[in-house]
Amino acid sequence: MLNLVWVDELDGSALDEVRALLLAAREVDGRPEVDAGGPLPDEFSGGLHLLAHAESDLVGYAHLDTTGDSFGRQVAELIVRPDRRHRGFATQLVEALVDKAGAVVSQDKLRVWSHGDHPAAARIAERAGFTRARELLVMHAPVAESDWPEPSLPQGVTLRTFVPGQDEQAVVDVNARAFDWHPEQGALTVEELRATEEEDWFDAAGFFLAERDGKVIGFHWTKVHPADPDRFDGEPVGEVYVVGVDPGAQGGGLGRALTLAGLRHLRERGLGHVILYVEGDNAPAIAVYSRLGFTRYAVDVQYAR
């Protein structure tokens, strides 16, 4: 039987326990992206934390984002330590999440991520009354096998790189219009963008802005992940982090041109692999990325009640 405790903050020994559990999960699942000495990933910040102990061992952990996504839905992450799986602990964690979500907002506004689309997670979700609501595809391209030509910009459009302290508001405005449909991305704020600029991985040279008549109409923000010994030959990996095009500028090939500019930048950095995340029902985007040499690598699933 589990001892389940909700806490508002993780500190001291609780933080150490959770970090150790996440590191153990990463060894088996390849997720989440957590460092032994660093802070927890952003998806575990704020909100509420559920600690599941069996005797003195932390065997499970869940995070509930009570702020919610752009549509007011609470989003949860749930992880059971690999050596303690298949014992019913995940089911108990899900039940506790459902109860807590009902107390905070509503049970039918709860969504839970399954990273990697594990069959066991699908069975647990079905028993708990959840259905498959969203797929987030991870696509991958080996740089050596990819032919990425010089980008062809629409007439009157110029390309430059992001200037910290100058371009934040313009990017946030385009982002809000381009992603008004997206559960997370559309809510980006100037403050959040500036905070990201302080991250070790941020590189303005890999953040491309498209302008027409001096106005930003699109952007491609790239990212480089540190080497992971268990993935992609143990090398650093580039990412097509965000490509956003103002709705008024869509349909003229700007998205493809911005994507190519970022891909060529990542190639020039000497990276051997590039990944990206795309919604599973975004057929036009998947088609564009497929033509650029990307193939499906993994899938994350969000379950909803």
Q: Is 90 annotated as a binding residue?
A: yes
184 marked as part of a ligand binding site: yes
Is 80 part of any known ligand binding site? yes
Q: Is 252 annotated as a binding residue?
A: yes
Number of helices and strands in the chain (H, E): 7, 12
Q: Take residue 261 and report the two structure tokens written for it.
A: 């500019």
**Known binder of ligand: residue 270?**
no
What Å distances lie between residue 248 and 120, 170, 173, 216, 304, CA to CA? 44, 15, 13, 12, 33
Distance separating alpha carbons of residues 85 and 176, to the nearest angstrom: 40
The alpha carbon dihedral of 285, 74, 107, 39 has a sign of positive
250 assigned ligand-binding residue: yes
Q: How many C-beta neighbours within 10 Å does residue 68 have?
A: 19
Residue 109 marked in a binding site: no
Does residue 253 have a known ligand-binding role?
A: yes
> In sequence order, which residues have a C-beta less than 8 Å from that of residue 221 and are 6 or more positions away?
162, 206, 207, 208, 241, 242, 243, 262
SS3 at position 285: helix
Q: Is 37 annotated as a binding residue?
A: no
Structural contact between residues 213 and 225, judged by C-beta atoms closer than 8 angstroms:
no
The answer to whether 243 is annotated as binding is: yes
Rounded Cα–Cα distance for residues 14 and 36 (Å) = 15
Work out whether the CA dihedral 7, 24, 183, 119 comes out positive or negative. Answer: negative
Q: Binding residue per annotation — 88?
A: yes
Is 254 annotated among the ligand-binding residues? yes
255 is in an annotated binding site: yes
Was 78 annotated as part of a binding site?
yes
User: Angle 146-160-157 (CA atoms, 0-180°, nearest 5)?
Assistant: 90
Q: Is 245 annotated as a binding residue?
A: yes
Which residues are annotated as part of the binding site for acetyl-CoA?
78-80, 86-91, 243-245, 250-256
Summarize the annotated binding site as residue ranges.
Answer: 78-80, 86-91, 184, 223, 239, 243-245, 250-256, 277
